[in-house]
Amino acid sequence: MTQMLEAMRGNITEAMKAVAADEQLDPEYIRKMVAKGYIAIPDNNQRETVAVGIGENLRTKVNATIGTSTDINDLDMELEKAKVAEEAGADTLMELSIGGDLDNIRRTVLANTKKPVGSVPIYQTAVEAIEKEGSAIYMEPDDMLKNIEKQAKDGIDFMAIHCSVNRETLKRLKREGRKGGLVSRGGSFISSWMVHHDVENPLYENYDQVLDIVEEYDVCLSMANAMRAGALTDSTDRAQIQELIVLGELVDRARERGVQTIVEGPGHIPINEIETNINIQKKMCKNAPFYMLGPIVTDIAPAYDHIVSAIGAAQCARYGANFICYVTPAEHLALPGVEDVREGVIATRIGAHAGDLAIDMERFGQEDIKMADARKQLNWEEQYAHALFPEDARAIRDKRPPEADDTCTMCGNYCAIKIVNQWLDKADKEAFDN
Amino acid sequence: MTQMLEAMRGNITEAMKAVAADEQLDPEYIRKMVAKGYIAIPDNNQRETVAVGIGENLRTKVNATIGTSTDINDLDMELEKAKVAEEAGADTLMELSIGGDLDNIRRTVLANTKKPVGSVPIYQTAVEAIEKEGSAIYMEPDDMLKNIEKQAKDGIDFMAIHCSVNRETLKRLKREGRKGGLVSRGGSFISSWMVHHDVENPLYENYDQVLDIVEEYDVCLSMANAMRAGALTDSTDRAQIQELIVLGELVDRARERGVQTIVEGPGHIPINEIETNINIQKKMCKNAPFYMLGPIVTDIAPAYDHIVSAIGAAQCARYGANFICYVTPAEHLALPGVEDVREGVIATRIGAHAGDLAIDMERFGQEDIKMADARKQLNWEEQYAHALFPEDARAIRDKRPPEADDTCTMCGNYCAIKIVNQWLDKADKEAFDN
């Protein structure tokens, strides 16, 4: 039985208890939210994983994507990326390889992590068609389902499946006349296939068969957002919202089957449209957890898209997105390396946390409050203890050590806190009151 | 005559014309805004500088702060920082040295840049008192004014002067009972002095004398915000708002004299309070340009405070802040090095630009639109041409070159754009419409 079916029947599973403990919330609250589909716990029944809750009222979670490409296919590096991503604090991984022995890569990654792992099964189908016949337009609909099943059996916890690319969404895309067009890799495979064969998307037509598979293995559906904009000028357009309507209908049908869903969101989008996007997605999809890809809030900062995305991530978390896919400095330029992965996770975690603080300082800001105390006391070890990335902080201060141990080299003994502690805080109250 | 007096008399100066050209706005609009005090052009009449407009409806500007400390006093490094900051796109510099021969450092920096340069004159007075007598509480009020005049004569374009730390603001600070207390360096000097001597702030009492000096040299007053919070838990409190009321009154008095002002804002603040802060500051100070320090939107990411601040900067620019002081990765840990300065400017520029895009894509997003076209065409040279930091982008792609020249190693020939250009865009319109 899926987590969601258990929850619907009133059962609090071990995964729900673990999420409740992690979030310091009541297990019964988690159960209720899982039953409604407002919280998802991606946790394939074929594999042991850490329970990670994604959804309403929970800490915003961060995904790190790894995977080979056709140009760079190095399984050891991908395993190293997975490790570094976890160490930097990623909550989940997505394994999106398109180069090399895809089954072996997936199984090796799954065997080497306890984090929930996501995938995009259509990649494998497209890669096989390209390798065999030269193009994704030669994909067989049966193979699409077979790869979903194989990957589910391997233990993949959540899958981005492009069910919502149908004739309606493609019609709206064509009418829209975008600058950036369609930039989703899976979306490009399935839509090219549809247009070439002039038929409906089999993943849309055979959605019940998709549900049969993911229900059996309790895979959480990550409703893929193929129409996300690939340029700021295309953001929040009719093609995207058309797809969102279809996505909402598919979420309903998944919930009827007790299948957990999360819904992917854009993409390239200016910061002033983020709140609207989250509100409309939550409405169309009846509060399904929102999985934000990026977002990219300016197009002109390649090499620094992790910072671009951290800016967007903060807005997302603040306005109710629940899960954020990181972006690395290599975005739009190259396959990320190990250090890129680390920087991407760090930036996205900072953004997610800044947004969570804006929602509830009391719940999410306890470490920030302790940092304030440590700074006031000029207690550096305590400052490191409450830092998200303590070793990086220590390294900067240690590289340029101050003469006076309680200060840093920015101000030395002219440290404002030191002066205030010495003169202002010790002054009589009367000194301030006349 | 100051820029503002010229504007009040209907004269369009060369500086106003230059700002208008830079911003693609009507010179008469710039003149009107300078006359009202809604736009400032910091431009000391003792020195030639590039005209930089700060204020309503202009691109959000970025300041990079440099300067020695007592621990690290290396003029060559400070000059290198100034150069690197300019190359990365900083609009202005602040020279905030507290170690070494302060006059020589200031004059050398001023001689080596055409950018507007700011300072905090009280630092010099405090440093001299500390060196001579052991503490800032031995500062002489006359010396405070003398250093303002000396630095104005040297050609400093804008000065942060702590006139608003008065008995009222200190009373509110004491009653507030903050966690982080007062963290402004200048604020700590002047408030300790006031409490020790149990008298009013001479810079507040003798504000007219301050105005005499800055009017003579046409120095723009950067109304220092000593009560900015130094921890998220202290943000937007009564001490800060009390000071803001006083700042507003001081802005009125400066405008009566034709002295340009900008007003500094917090500090450590969660993202959900940024809009309110800007709105209340613009109201209290009658639309004086808003100079945001930071802001720091979470306290627990030392080593990455440039990213923290980029998140805040985007919010600031979006809601009407006009000028943003960068934060480097060394913030809260050490005096920044050259590379820290570069990273700080980059992050803040990205944040400021993301915020500007949210205000007006048409005006501020032309490069973003061209980038969208270049990406759709898979034209990499054009992508670099429209990137904020082209060499960094090129370096990432070149480090891991793709087999196919028109792609990158992320997707290789499975590039979504390439597939869409080949299959989807070329398909008959009919394929989408049934």
| Strand A61-66, strand A92-95: pairing | parallel
Strands B261-265 and A290-293: unpaired
Whether A71 contacts chain B with CB within 8 A: yes
| pLDDT, position B430 | 67
Residues 6+ apart with CB under 8 A from A321: A60, A265, A278, A290, A291, A292, A355
**DSSP-based three-state secondary structure for A268:** strand
Cβ-based contacts of B408 with chain A (< 8 Å)? 332-335
pLDDT given at position B404: 92
Considering only the beta carbons, identify the residue of B127, B230, B414 that sits closest to A185.
B414
Question: Is 0.90 topped by the overall pTM?
Answer: yes
pLDDT in the model for residue A242: 97
Q: Residue type for B116, please?
A: P
Picking from A406, A407, A408, the residue whose alpha carbon sits closest to that of residue A396 is: A408
Collapse the DSSP code of A11 into the 3-class scheme (helix H, G, I; strand E, B; otherwise coil) and give the result: coil
pLDDT of A183? 95
Question: Which B-chain residues 12-51 have CB contacts (< 8 A) with chain A?
Answer: none
* pLDDT confidence of residue B427: 78
Cβ contacts of A124 on chain B, cutoff 8 Å: none
pLDDT at B432 over 80: no
Among residues B423, B417, B425, which one has the least CA distance to residue B374? B417
The tokens for B234 are 């202290």
pLDDT at residue B294, as a whole number: 85
What is the reported pLDDT for B82? Answer: 98
Residues of A in contact with B383 (CB under 8 A): 302, 332
Contact yes or no for B258/B4 (Cβ under 8 A) = yes
Cβ pair B233:A375 closer than 8 A: no
Amino acid at B118: G
Alpha-carbon distance B271 to nearest alpha carbon in chain A (angstroms): 6
Contact A319, A290 (CB under 8 A): no
**Nearest-CA distance from A161 to chain B in Å?**
16
Q: What type of residue is A234?
A: D
- In this structure, what are the phi and psi dihedrals at residue A129, rounded to the nearest 5 degrees? -65, -40
For residues A132-160, give the mean pLDDT.
97
- CA–chain centroid gap for A178, Å, is 26
Q: At residue A145, what is the residue type?
A: L
Testing the interface with A: which of B414, B418, B425, B433 to mutate, by most A Cβ within 10 A?
Answer: B414
- Do B116 and B43 contact (CB within 8 A), yes or no? yes
Predicted confidence (pLDDT) at residue B434 exceeds the cutoff of 60: no
- Bridge partners of B158, per DSSP, are B118, B220
B316 is an annotated ligand-binding site residue = no
Per the DSSP assignment, residues forming a β-bridge with A39 are A55
CA distance A28 to chain B (A): 30
Which tokens in the block code for residue B29?
Answer: 């609009």
- How far is it, in rounded angstroms, from Cα B39 to Cα B56? 6
Rounded to an integer, what distance in angstroms lies between the CA atom of residue A34 and that of residue A402? 52
Q: Mean pLDDT in chain A?
A: 96
ipTM of the complex: 0.97
* Phi, psi at A101, each rounded to 5°: -85, 95
pLDDT at A308: 98
Q: Residues B253, B212: contact at Cβ < 8 Å?
A: no
CA distance B349 to B330: 17
Q: How far apart are CA B130 and CA B187, in angstroms?
A: 15
Residue A51 to residue A54: CA distance in whole angstroms: 10
CA distance A119 to B205: 67
A290 Cβ contact list (under 8 Å, min separation 6): A262, A263, A265, A278, A281, A282, A316, A320, A321, A322, A323
Which B residues 260-279 touch A at CB under 8 Å?
A: 270-272
Task: Give dist(CA B117, CA B158) in Å, integer.
Answer: 7
For the record, the structure tokens of A230 come out as: 């690939």
Helices B305-319, B338-359: axis angle to 10 degrees equals: 30
Residue given tokens 């976890």 in the structure block: A86
Q: How far apart are CA B342 and CA A203, in angstroms?
A: 48
A294 pLDDT band, cuts 50/70/90, is confident
CA atoms B126, B129, B132, B133: torsion sign: negative
Chain A hits for B355, CB-CB cut-off 8 Å, are 271
- Please enumerate in sequence order all residues whose Cβ is within 8 A of that of B316, keeping only pairs 6 or more positions apart, or say none: B60, B265, B274, B278, B290, B292, B295, B324, B351, B352, B355
The structure tokens listed for B388 are 């904020």
Q: Is the pLDDT of residue A433 over 80?
A: no
Pairing status of strand B158-161 against strand A61-66: unpaired
Q: What are the tens digits of pLDDT across the range A304-325?
A: 999 999 999 999 999 999 999 9
Label residue A140 by pLDDT band (50, 70, 90).
very high
Is cis: bond before A267, omega within 30 of 0? Answer: yes
pLDDT at B177 over 90: no
Q: Looking at residues A100-125, what average pLDDT do you find?
A: 98
Q: How many CB pairs under 8 A join A and B?
A: 413
Coil, helix or strand at residue A221: strand
pLDDT of residue A423: 86
β-pair type (A39-40, A54-55):
antiparallel
Tokens (6 digits) for B342: 């570069």
How many angstroms separate the CA of residue A295 from the nearest CA in chain B? 12
**Which of A315, A383, A432 is the best mutation test for B, with the most CBs of B within 10 A?**
A432
Look at B432 and A195 and tell me if their CB atoms are within 8 Å.
yes
Q: Quick one: pLDDT at residue B79?
A: 98
Residue B433's pLDDT band (boundaries 50, 70, 90)? low
Q: Which residues contact B263 (CB under 8 A, 6 or more apart)?
A: B222, B223, B225, B247, B251, B281, B285, B288, B289, B290, B291
Residue of A91, A71, A65, A115 whose CA lies nearest to A328: A65
- Does residue B38 have a known ligand-binding role? no
Q: Check the annotation: does B197 bind a ligand.
A: no
pLDDT of B150: 98
Q: Which residues of B touch A298 (CB under 8 A)?
A: 350, 353-354, 357, 368
pLDDT in tens, B2-24: 999 999 999 999 999 999 999 99
What are chain A's domains?
3-359 (3.20.20.540), 363-426 (no CATH)
Q: Please check whether residue B111 touches A, CB under 8 A.
A: no
Whether B14 and B22 have beta carbons less than 8 Å apart is answered as: no
* pLDDT over 70 percentage in chain B: 99
Mean of pLDDT values over B230-255 = 97
Residue A100 has pLDDT above 60, yes or no: yes
pLDDT of residue B37: 98
Q: B289 CA to chain A: closest CA distance, Å?
A: 22
Q: What is the pLDDT of residue A434?
A: 56
Chain B residues in contact with A195 (beta carbon < 8 A): 423-424, 427, 431-432
The answer to whether B123 and B99 have CB atoms below 8 angstroms apart is: no
Least confident of A430-434, B351-355, B423-427: A430-434
CA distance A290 to A186: 19
Where b means 16+ CB within 10 Å and e means fewer, A203-222 reads bbebbebbbebbbebbbbbb
Q: Average the pLDDT over A225-246 and give the result.
A: 96
Confidence of residue A224 (pLDDT cuts 50, 70, 90): very high
Among the partner residues A130, A181, A359, nearest to B425 by beta-carbon distance: A181
Asked whether residue A429 carries a pLDDT value surpassing 70, the answer given is: no
Cβ-based contacts of A354 with chain B (< 8 Å): 270-271, 297-298, 308, 311-312
Residue A177 has pLDDT above 90, yes or no: no
Work out the average pLDDT over B170-187: 93
Instruction: Inform me whether the C-beta atom of residue B405 falls under 8 Å from chain A C-beta atoms.
Output: no
Cβ atoms < 10 Å from Cβ of B92: 26
Structure tokens, B409: 């190693």
Q: Residue A425's pLDDT is what?
A: 82
Q: Which amino acid is at A362?
A: E
pLDDT interval class at A426 (50, 70, 90)? confident
* Beta strand pairing call for B117-119 and B92-95: parallel
